[in-house]
Structure 1
Amino acid sequence: MISQQSWTDARRLWDFQQMGHEVRPCSVAIGLGSHDLGVAEVTAALYRDGMAPVVVFTGATSRTTRERMPRGEAEHYRERALELGVPADAILVEPNARNTGENIRFSRALLAQQGIAVSSVLLVSKPYEERRAYATARKLWPDVEWVCASAPMSFSEYVAAIGDEHLVIDMLVGAQQRLMVYPDQGFMIRQEISTDVETAYRRLVDDGFTSRLVPTAVARD
């Protein structure tokens, strides 16, 4: 049973993760692999709207995707985009990345190999990982402009679409924790985090939403 306080805290983290960028045409769109095919659908919609002439789907498999996406996240994303009308010659597949940093680094290398000049990137992620993805991308590829995009859904709508409220809250907590600890490890730029956001995160950890935390989350300093 999820308490009302936990729901409130999860919504606070959800809102914080939203970057609020205005979508505009960019050199390329990069769809970050995950368990959520909605990322591929948003990326395909952006392509059809003329927001990017080429799409990169990036991602191998993880513990949450190896059963539902056995051919790899990027390949399943490609298949969904083809179903939605994106032409095959507009899609590049990066099948090896296993975390957000590798998503960015491997996509950058692939685009360079293809001779595609990049000055701006539409970075498409799950709604609750916009800020985490942005902070990582800015650290690893600082000389391009990043515009974040995700499915325009409320927290309640997203939970209903995924069908597993504990998984969504665990993922939110994991994304927030990485924003707090990864800058010191050199994995992303530092983001200003308000006291109410950090308090919401701490309460959710205390309430047991910890399955997506990296080991340092146990420390409470």
Structure 2
Amino acid sequence: MVVRLPEEHRADVEILWEFNRMGHAVRPVDVGVGLGGHDIGVASYAAELYHAGVFPMIVFTGAHGPSTRELFPRGEAVHFREHAIGLGVPGEAILVETRATNTGENIEFTRDLLAERGLLESIGSVMLIARPYHQRRSFAICRKRWPAVDVRCGSLPLALDDYVASIGDVERVMNMLIGDTQRVWAYPARGWAIDQDVPDEVRAAYGRLVAAGFDRRLLAEG
């Protein structure tokens, strides 16, 4: 099955795709944090970075939600850990946080777990490993809820078309991309994340895609 972006929306999707990826350079940090979700590529990239010496320890965080309950029945973090071990990461280098059901909880519960293990004081920098379109939102939430650390973001380095093909569901990717874009300005308004500049072209592309019916992941505003 060939999975392709609809050409009439490609330019707008590409604008949001580029906006939501932070473009952070990969450099050594104290811990990698793999954020749960439907994309097992998060665990794959965490394993790749571990083997490259980017961090000595990984925390996978996530319970499961309606969209991942069948895919990861034992919880996102548990399955991500198993996948990373299958890629050669030693089990003792991985911590698992199994309660979080949203990104704010991913950050807070990871910090709590590190504190429980007596590791928090040694953590000055983290890399959040996420879905590509989840980078900007997770960065903003981490800066709000864990301001003491230097935070960077990363994702499996796939081009847009390759990422869509890896997920196998173009409408899901588009709806989630649009939903994450909205959260860049909706979350600060609710006190959940730091403010970030949103270029006019991003807001315009977002508006056109919502008008085209890609609104399944939107928050009610107001």
TM-score (norm 1): 0.96
Structure 1, unmatched stretches of 5+, are none
Of the three residues 73, 76, 96, the one matched with 2:76 is 73
Of the three residues 181, 185, 202, the one matched with 1:176 is 181
Deviations 1:77-134 (A, max 9, x none): 0000110011111100000100000000000000111111210001100111111110
Aligned to 1:196: 201
Aligned to 1:167: 172
Structure 2, unmatched stretches of 5+, are none
The answer to whether the 8 Å contact 2:21/2:136 transfers is yes
Identity level (%): 49
Aligned to 1:144: 149
- What amino acid sits opposite 2:77 in the alignment? A
Say how many residue pairs are matched: 217
Instruction: Name the CA distance, whole Å, in 2 between partners of 1:2 and 1:148.
Output: 25
The answer to whether the 8 Å contact 2:5/2:161 transfers is no
Of the three residues 30, 40, 48, the one matched with 1:27 is 30
Aligned to 1:153: 158
Counterparts of 1:1-221 in structure 2, within 5 Å, are 3-116=6-119, 117-216=122-221
1:111–1:136: structure 2 CA closer, same or farther, 3 Å change rule?
same
Q: Which runs of 4+ in 1 moved over 4 A?
A: none
Q: How far 1:63 sits from its partner (Å)? A: 1.2
Q: How far 1:215 sits from its partner (Å)? A: 1.8
CA RMSD between the two structures:
1.2
Instruction: Name the CA distance, whole Å, in 1 between partners of 2:183 and 2:151.
Output: 19
Deviations 1:61-83 (A, max 9, x none): 01110011000000000000110
1:2–1:148: structure 2 CA closer, same or farther, 3 Å change rule?
closer
User: SS at the partner of 2:151?
Assistant: strand
Q: How far 1:213 sits from its partner (Å)? A: 1.1
- What amino acid sits opposite 2:86 in the alignment? E
- What amino acid sits opposite 1:7 in the alignment? R
